[in-house]
């Protein structure tokens, strides 16, 4: 497909995102499939564990500690593995879309290989983004938490002046509601500014922190498009989730009718879980494709990337080096 480097209207921006997804559907679903498969395996393992516990007759409470520790370790391992596979999948999707812009036929092997070479900056960038987002949430909730804690402490240690305690609690809950709204607004704003962090970290020789700064600069004036992309992909994901739920419900009801403790009920529940995860696998690539299209759009608008590529294409090839002459590449600016 012909992905020319030019400025796009809003409708062209969305059309290009969904056209890339439609024309290379199997490729992009395959690139984002590993983390979805991991989620499916974890859901199946959880379903098997809960089914085994419900059918276990001689369960000793002393075994609860071991099960809790095992579950906690499993959650940590799953979270890290899911993070790695998701970042790698989005990075590979970035490479594949970039190949389409460069008139190169993308394939999964080369995309994953190129993304794995940038895995360190990708992990660092996503870690820093998570720290910043959770820091904002903690900063918004600290004052309401202090007030609610003070109200609870006063109510526990004294019986007098219940009006003061109630006042602390009322103000704390009011501030908590306001803080949640502010935190959601700030999280949305940060997500829009960080929209092209992963494409910047994959396609440019920069580190994770520099990729965040780069994304903030590139998205200036394009936050509306980033929000529209988030809104459209959210609607598509919601619709796909509803379809997945409709596919899943007959098997869930069948498992209930057969009895969760029976073998038939167990397998019906597993099949329903697998069908419910299909929506995530199918819709996950859309956002990843859209942010790469947004990255190239931002570079065209702010840095005239289309003119740079055209100039490089028209420039004569460099003369071959003389024998024995060392050609030193120019240093990368920081």
* C-alpha to C-alpha distance for 104 and 91, rounded to whole angstroms: 17
- CA distances for 63 relative to 9, 45, 51, 68, 140, angstroms: 61, 19, 17, 9, 40
Give the number of residues written for the chain.
334
Q: What is the pLDDT of residue 213?
A: 94
Q: What is the pLDDT of residue 209?
A: 93
Q: What is the pLDDT of residue 59?
A: 55
* C-alpha to C-alpha distance for 137 and 144, rounded to whole angstroms: 12
Count CB neighbours of 93 within 10 A.
31
Q: What is the pLDDT of residue 56?
A: 55
Query: Which of these, 221, 215, 189, lies nearest to 202 by C-alpha position?
Result: 215
If the chain, 334 residues long, is cut into consecutive pieces of 10 residues, what is the mean pLDDT of each piece? 79 90 91 85 73 59 69 86 92 93 88 93 94 87 72 55 60 78 90 93 91 93 90 83 77 74 72 73 87 92 79 62 42 49
Domains of the chain by residue range: 10-56+66-310
Half-sphere exposure of 111 (CA within 13 A, CB side): 25
Q: What is the pLDDT of residue 126?
A: 94
Q: What is the pLDDT of residue 320?
A: 54
Q: What is the pLDDT of residue 40?
A: 77
Bin 173: left if φ > 0, else alpha if -120 < ψ < 50, else beta: alpha
Q: Enter the tokens of residue 50.
A: 């809960």
Q: DSSP letters of 136-192?
A: HHHHHHHHHHHHHHHHHHHHHH--S-HHHHHHHHHHHHHHHHHHHHHHHHHHHHHHH
Query: Which of these, 117, 111, 96, 115, lies nearest to 24 by C-alpha position?
Result: 96
pTM of the model: 0.78
Tens digit of pLDDT for each residue in 160-202?
Answer: 455 555 666 677 677 778 888 888 899 999 999 999 999 999 9
DSSP 286: H
- CA distances for 218 relative to 187, 193, 322, angstroms: 18, 9, 40
CA 95 vs. chain centroid, Å, equals: 17
Q: What is the pLDDT of residue 278?
A: 74
If DSSP codes are grouped into helix, strand and coil, which group holds residue 261? coil
* C-alpha to C-alpha distance for 198 and 216, rounded to whole angstroms: 12
Q: What is the pLDDT of residue 38?
A: 85
Q: What is the pLDDT of residue 323?
A: 42
């Amino acid at each position: 497909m012909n992905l020319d480097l030019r400025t796009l209207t809003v409708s062209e921006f969305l059309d290009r995102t969904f056209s890339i997804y439609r024309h290379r559907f199997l490729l992009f679903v395959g690139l984002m499939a590993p983390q979805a498969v991991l989620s499916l395996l974890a859901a199946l393992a959880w379903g098997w564990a809960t089914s085994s516990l419900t059918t276990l007759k001689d369960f000793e409470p002393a075994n609860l500690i071991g099960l809790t520790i095992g579950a906690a370790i499993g959650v940590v391992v799953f979270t890290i593995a899911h993070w790695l596979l998701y970042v790698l999948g989005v990075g590979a999707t970035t490479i594949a879309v970039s190949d389409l812009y460069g008139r190169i036929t993308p394939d999964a092997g080369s995309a994953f290989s190129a993304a794995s070479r940038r895995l360190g900056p990708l992990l660092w960038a996503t870690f820093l983004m998570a720290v910043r987002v959770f820091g904002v949430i903690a900063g918004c909730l600290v004052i309401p938490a202090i007030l609610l804690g003070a109200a609870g402490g006063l109510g526990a240690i004294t019986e007098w002046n219940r009006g003061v305690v109630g006042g602390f609690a009322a103000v704390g809950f009011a501030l908590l509601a306001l803080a949640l709204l502010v935190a959601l607004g700030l999280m949305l704003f940060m997500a829009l500014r960080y929209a092209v962090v992963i494409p910047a970290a994959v396609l440019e020789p920069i580190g994770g922190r520099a990729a965040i700064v780069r994304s903030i600069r590139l998205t200036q004036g394009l936050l509306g498009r980033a929000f529209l992309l988030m809104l459209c992909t959210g609607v598509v994901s919601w619709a796909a989730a509803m379809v997945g739920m409709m596919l899943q419900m007959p098997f869930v009801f069948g498992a209930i009718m057969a009895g969760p403790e029976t073998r038939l009920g167990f397998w019906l529940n597993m099949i329903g879980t697998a069908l419910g995860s299909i929506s995530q696998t199918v819709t996950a690539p859309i956002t990843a494709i859209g942010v790469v299209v947004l990255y190239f759009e931002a570079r065209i608008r702010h840095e005239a990337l289309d003119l740079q590529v055209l100039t490089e294409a028209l420039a004569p090839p460099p003369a071959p080096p003389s024998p024995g002459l060392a050609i030193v590449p120019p240093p990368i600016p920081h």
